[in-house]
Structure 1
């Protein structure tokens, strides 16, 4: 997932029919502004959590807020802050105290590290080391990654024998769907074309979520997607292997001011860690689907997940 990603997946509050609520409950059970003055909650300052502008971040932000509130902390959530550069600025300027970020994004978009680590663990350790030079730190990462990937329709992959991103050269001219904020940048279309030596591709700018319809209708042959997109769970798309590790590793970890962890005490980090440990790729795909397809709110989805896992 690129650091410039700031457009939301399609979302609306919509309806919440009883049947959908029941189905979601079963599903989740299976998948498992400046800092405020000290509050009345144990004399600790209010913690301000930030989240970017897309479904997954809304849900994770809500989980953090609800679980911490239940644990007795005074918490404020600010969603829709924007791209990595914007939300990082909010963090370093003290407008927020923590937010969930993607480990590879920290290295490539913030630290400007041009190397790609060989493992998720190495990526996390390097990202944490960078953040600690700025008075920040990172809590342990989630099991899931949300990274960019290249998707095609299965019939297209079969016709040209496509297995890797570089194999797109076998297909001749390829129209490639990319979201506007990621045409340029460390994980962007331009760098991907260079990395894989793609010789005959043409980019088409489409907002996040629209690339699937474009693939289905034959308007494009390949598209940049995210590995936790709920659309991928249906098996209607083939993900081409990133055998040159262009997109790196993208587990999520809370980035937080060291001072905040000290002020809030050990149970604060323990509460966040208990949530992150449950966030597998399957669980996050299901959570995203509950918002984007079932049309529940991020708050509702977070609450149901936390209750199903005995964290509320």
Structure 2
């Protein structure tokens, strides 16, 4: 996901220093710790769960963490670590042991230039791309994917249904969104290479946030990148353009865990949670945080009460 790569420079720097100071036992993924070559443990009694710098990641971390706590595991939350580069550094050095991740985005991190567009193929490729010491458990049917949107007025005006339809009119349009969307394959680069789409102008705003939303609704931009679990899409009747060339990767929710903290019981609990998550329910949970300003821990507690694990 593009959103999870946004850099908060100052916070990221503090997070890296703090995590490095409290990290346990060096980097098992580079052989600096005996833990890197250890098999999965028979039993795990404590675990640190990390999350990125956006509400959905924090909600998922709370859901997975509270589920593990209900099974007797001592859980510590390391919330709001930062962007992908920052939280990946944390799981590599052992500062955290578990993270909610996204299949396509994580695959691109570990295997640059990955081209898998099928969700099962992306998941399998991710498993093969992970370094020794990191694993994923089952992927969830729930997904949060990049989507390229226009207002209904713009879609009606230009008869837009697909990204391919933009080619004939894009030179008269202004696109806007995150700095990442401007340069990534799942963005302007892919639009130009796969669809021949080039815009009159690009305005750097935010990743599906209030700046992009206002600019889109005010017709200051006509095209932007949002995310499929954002309620702003449905609430504002935005049109998601189809992507026949598959420049937007599949992004199913998947727990990323260190091998030295993945017991059979831990994996079973994570899998039970993942199986119950849906994209629709995740959309509602994110809305409660972003619109209703509810706390991730309270949202997670509610979800688990409504979705008890067997």
TM over 0.5: yes
RMSD of Structure 2 on Structure 1 (CA): 2.2
Q: Distance in 2 between matches of 1:7 and 1:55?
A: 15
Which blocks of at least 5 consecutive residues in structure 1 are unaligned?
A: 9-32, 37-41
Displacement of 1:235 in angstroms is: 5.8
On the 8 A contact 2:49/2:96 being kept in 1, the answer is yes
What secondary structure sits across from 2:276 in the alignment?
coil
Number of residue pairs matched by the alignment:
278
Counterpart of 1:14 in structure 2 is: none
Cα gap change, 1:188/1:35 in structure 2, threshold over 3 Å: closer, same or farther? farther
Counterpart of 2:145 in structure 1 is: 147
On the 8 A contact 2:5/2:84 being kept in 1, the answer is yes
Counterpart of 2:242 in structure 1 is: 241
Cα gap change, 1:175/1:194 in structure 2, threshold over 3 Å: closer, same or farther? same
On the 8 A contact 1:35/1:45 being kept in 2, the answer is no
On the 8 A contact 1:2/1:186 being kept in 2, the answer is no
Counterpart of 1:68 in structure 2 is: 68
Are 1:167 and 2:165 an aligned pair? yes
Displacement of 1:166 in angstroms is: 2.4
Counterpart of 2:205 in structure 1 is: 206
Tell me the TM-score normalized by structure 2.
Answer: 0.83
What secondary structure sits across from 1:60 in the alignment?
helix
| Superimposed CA distance per residue, residues 123-167 of structure 1 (whole angstroms, 9 cap, x where no aligned partner) | 100101111x42211101111221111100112111111111121
Bigger mean CA deviation after superposition, 180-189 or 98-107: 180-189
Counterpart of 1:105 in structure 2 is: 105
Which blocks of at least 5 consecutive residues in structure 2 are unaligned?
A: 9-21, 26-41
Counterpart of 1:27 in structure 2 is: none
Q: Distance in 1 between matches of 2:44 and 2:136?
A: 21
On the 8 A contact 1:152/1:222 being kept in 2, the answer is yes
Q: How does 1:247-258 map to 2 (within 5 A)?
A: 247-258=248-259
On the 8 A contact 1:150/1:223 being kept in 2, the answer is yes
Displacement of 1:89 in angstroms is: 1.4
Q: Distance in 2 between matches of 1:201 and 1:243?
A: 23
Q: Distance in 2 between matches of 1:7 and 1:301?
A: 26
Q: Distance in 2 between matches of 1:157 and 1:78?
A: 42
Q: Distance in 2 between matches of 1:177 and 1:200?
A: 10
Greater RCO between the two (CA within 8 Å, min separation 6)? Answer: 1
Cα gap change, 1:3/1:136 in structure 2, threshold over 3 Å: closer, same or farther? farther
Are 1:187 and 2:186 an aligned pair? yes
| Superimposed CA distance per residue, residues 172-223 of structure 1 (whole angstroms, 9 cap, x where no aligned partner) | 4211111134433443433433332113342111123121221111111011
What secondary structure sits across from 1:242 in the alignment?
coil
Bigger mean CA deviation after superposition, 197-206 or 118-127: 197-206
Q: Distance in 2 between matches of 1:227 and 1:130?
A: 26
Which of residues 23, 28, 42 is equivalent to 1:34? 23
Cα gap change, 1:293/1:3 in structure 2, threshold over 3 Å: closer, same or farther? closer
Counterpart of 1:47 in structure 2 is: 47
| Superimposed CA distance per residue, residues 246-296 of structure 1 (whole angstroms, 9 cap, x where no aligned partner) | 0121111111111211xxx32211111111112211101100111111221
Q: Distance in 1 between matches of 2:216 and 2:228?
A: 16
On the 8 A contact 1:233/1:285 being kept in 2, the answer is no
Cα gap change, 1:153/1:3 in structure 2, threshold over 3 Å: closer, same or farther? closer
